Amino acid sequence: MRYDFKAIEEKWQKKWAENNSFKISEDTSKPKYYALEMFPYPSGNLHMGHVRNYSIGDVVARYKTMRGYNVLHPMGWDSFGLPAENAAIKNGTPPAEWTWKNIDNMREQLKRLGFSYDWDREVATAKPDYYKFTQWMFLQLYKNGLAYKKKSYVNWCPSCQTVLANEQVVNGKCDRCKSEVGKKDLEQWFFKITDYAQKLLDDISTLDGWPEKVKSMQTNWIGRSEGAEIKFKIDGTDKELTVYTTRPDTIFGVSYMVIAPEHPLVKELIAGRPEEKKCLEFIERVQKQSEIVRSATDTEKEGEFTGVYMVNPLNNEKIPLYLANYVFLDYGTGIVMGVPAHDQRDFDFAKKYNLPIRIVIQPKDSNLKSEELTEAFAAEGIMENSGQFDGLNNKEALKKIIDYVEEKGIGNRKVNFRLRDWLISRQRYWGAPIPIVYCEKCGTVEIPESELPVKLPENVKFTGQGKSPLSECEEFVNTTCPKCGGPAKRETDTMDTFVCSSWYYLRYCDPKNDKMPFSKESTDYWMNVDQYIGGVEHAILHLLYARFFTKVLNDLGYVSCSEPFKNLLTQGMVLKDGTKMSKSLGNVVSPEEIISKYGADTARLFILFAAPPERDLEWSDTAVEGSYRFINRVWRAVIELKDCITDEKIDKTSLTDGEKKLRFAVNASIKKVTEDFERFSFNTAISSIMEMVNALYQYKDNTPKESYNNAVISEAVTTLVKLLSPFIPHVTQELWEILGMDTDLLHETWCEYDEAALVVSEIEIVVQVNGKIKDKIMISPDLSQDEMKEQAMSNAKVKEAIDGKQVVKCIAIPKKLVNIVVK
RNA sequence: GCGGGUGUGGCGGAAUUGGCAGACGCGCCAGACUUAGGAUCUGGUGUCAAUGACGUGGGAGUUCAAGUCUCUUCACCCGCACCA
């Protein structure tokens, strides 16, 4: 007999929708719990990664609800972005139409999986009632000096025809379309995330519920380094250049200096010199090098002498200034000092261009000579050739040299971050328009909050060529200045979609508010997100931006929390044949297919049982089959025993051994499943329910029907259905009804285990001799250690093993084992 | 190079606090029921020269006792990567 999953799942999904079963509102009588999964991009269809992500979230939400929490469990759509525009170019479907259609389809797919979302709180970032507030967010940042426009050398994707944030350039390629990213000098909007670099870094240490990996990735990305800026005079002039270094202790070893070829001062420096022509050629050549080549560790270091000499402020030595491809304009000052003896890159460069190598730090136990040096010495040591600092440990000297430099006014301590400001403008149509106009009289003017949203025009053409469709839409571009009423032109860039997703978790708290993005009261009640679940691919981008937004909103007084996500779970990927499922490899298993073949409950159960949530999961058709078999096994047992259900209390004084065994399995399972839920170990929770089902079969198949203890069976069957309900909500709700219950399982209280059922009269312990198992014996669990030892000593196999030997030691561990050590 | 992680049967995985390694499931083998089985139920299933020995990537160490702790080494995965 097989259960009719199709009819059952449809039936309950319909009922849940009719009864608004998942609707939630603020309720101060209960503790709150905010369970959140990363909202999807509406590509059109769910994939297994979504199913996994949302199954994990749903099981958490349902469990917490049964534990008495008031659970916020929302869903929405990260619905701006390029694919919608590409579809428009390809098929002529307007992006909005394409997007809403995909959302409708995916919403249905989510409903078919039985997830307990409060659909009344659904948000879509591409809807005016949402992006109105994304624009509001922009204005808050703008008014507080955290959004600015500047001309800069930015990443440009020639295929997407737009600029990209640093975070969206992966190995020199566009994160979205994989084409090679170039550089362009453009006027662009930025968010000043660097103002929050230190805070974002410091608060990582408060994120106890985040995976180490994500924390270390963010730490690396922020990339704090401590050092000093030191001014070097240009020889023969009063002008100075400033370098940034983390190793001021090596300053007496400087034998050259390097400036980034794109540095704005370069042209002026080389003007009119005999080296000018060669330098200009070099600059052109370096600029042609792609970003990938340029930034690769193994790219050969190349340089060109500028003809300029610098003066080392510590020892007044004259040193040459080079252009070189290994220095970045956008880190530090774009100018660095070259210390070949103590930096590997400088060593390689000096070897190539025959620059002097001078040792200024000696290892404690050897004596290096510069002409014998085969690689830079970068470790700790004792200072030499460094004037008054000779003989000091270099760590100490580092501080003293900075002190000296600060005293003389030729430099200062400086902390640098690798984090750059967040480039948020995109030359695309399908995004939230930046609420700014340019007026001939007033200049850059922000749109007043009362006039939001700046709506996306609907009648635009998509050619895929040239400029963004927005900039070619006359009725959008031409407007009046909100300040003076004169003619003005709108900003035609839209915002990076990551701006939209940086605050959506706040909108869920108060999704219908049309005055503000959310009320303070609503976020005070619901925030923080207690459990956030999603893929590790967002470790830097989304998770860093969302932290930044929360901190800004906190500083501006709009929210009380300074971190959005208390706990973070990064789920593993769903693999097939050892690799990621992908269309090009043809190894994609579609959720639709699995749902129609086995039902949503089986899909959910398999995906949670096959691996722990953080680990990658290998898809296995036969194992899916196994999960389906298990549900059928549960179904048959419950149906068979349904008439045994009774309200009678268990008479604990007269239980048979079989009944005790069943009660033990049931209560041990409640304990185990509850503990496993708390640590998100769903695979082991399910396995312990399987053991319980095995025990139930043992009991029912080995007990004559007339001897059934209905009270014990009732306990087992109702417990089974409840424990399974977060995993497989449809079939358990159906069984609940079959058992004569008319309540909603989701709002039943979670099972409590009976301590008394876990007490047994005899337990098995292991008897070892010299750590090797000799026998297993049954004893009373409350025997003293001495009594345990006695029992072990009198065991026949032990006697044989220790015969003629001297007992040196005997260790007894209550309820576990006895180990006898002999010589 | 730096940072994070993983390594356990044929496979997915379990062992949460140093205490019976391999729970649970898949696969496989056998049996029962059956006209039939790709249904169901029951039993078996780490390896080997098999009353015993060996066994958690390798090597050492601490301990009565190590998958778990320490040191060392290897392999693989992920992230960052010429950041001065």
For residue A141, what are the contacts with CB-CB under 8 A and spacing of at least 6? A147, A191, A192, A552
As separate numbers, helices (DSSP H) first and strands (DSSP E) second, chain A gives 26, 34
Q: Which bases of chain B are contacted by protein, using any atom under 7 A from a CB? A: 2-5, 11-16, 19-21, 23-27, 39-42, 53, 64-66, 78-84
Distance A698 CA to B44 C1' (A): 18
CA dihedral A643, A648, A650, A651 (to 10 degrees): -120
Residues of chain A scoring pLDDT < 70 = 1, 290-292, 464-466
pLDDT at A232: 97
- Return the closest nucleotide (C1') to the Cα of A771: B65
pLDDT tens track for A31-72: 999 999 999 999 999 999 999 999 999 999 999 999 999 999
pLDDT at A390: 95
Place of tokens 């008897």: A767
- Return the closest nucleotide (C1') to the Cα of A630: B25
pLDDT at A375: 87
- Return the closest nucleotide (C1') to the Cα of A335: B84
Q: Assess contact for A59 and A682: CB atoms under 8 A.
A: yes
Angle between helices A657-678 and A682-701 (to 10 degrees): 170
Q: Assess contact for A77 and A42: CB atoms under 8 A.
A: yes
DSSP string for residues in A632-684: HHHHHHHHHHGGG---PPP-GGG--HHHHHHHHHHHHHHHHHHHHHHTT-HHH
Residue A695 approaches strand B within 7 Å at CB: no
Q: Assess contact for A538 and A176: CB atoms under 8 A.
A: no
- Which of residues 308-367 of A have CB within 7 Å of strand B? 325-328, 331-332, 334, 336-337, 339, 343, 345
Of the candidates A58, A33, A167, A32, which has an alpha carbon nearest to the alpha carbon of residue A571? A58
- Residues for chain A: how many in total? 823
Give the integer Cα–Cα distance in Å for A155 and A457: 27
Q: Assess contact for A165 and A120: CB atoms under 8 A.
A: no
Residue A770 approaches strand B within 7 Å at CB: yes
Segments of A275-392 assigned E as strands: 303-311, 318-324, 335-338, 361-362, 382-383
- Return the closest nucleotide (C1') to the Cα of A808: B64
What value of ipTM does the predicted structure carry? Answer: 0.94
pLDDT at A213: 92
Q: Which helix (H) or strand (E) holds A65?
A: helix A48-66
Parallel/antiparallel/unpaired status of strands A574-576 and A579-580: antiparallel
Give the integer Cα–Cα distance in Å for A381 and A341: 13
pLDDT at A366: 79
Prediction pTM value: 0.94
Of the candidates A92, A147, A164, A127, which has an alpha carbon nearest to the alpha carbon of residue A428? A164
Of the candidates A752, A722, A750, A723, which has an alpha carbon nearest to the alpha carbon of residue A736? A722
CA dihedral A411, A413, A415, A416 (to 10 degrees): 20
pLDDT at A291: 66
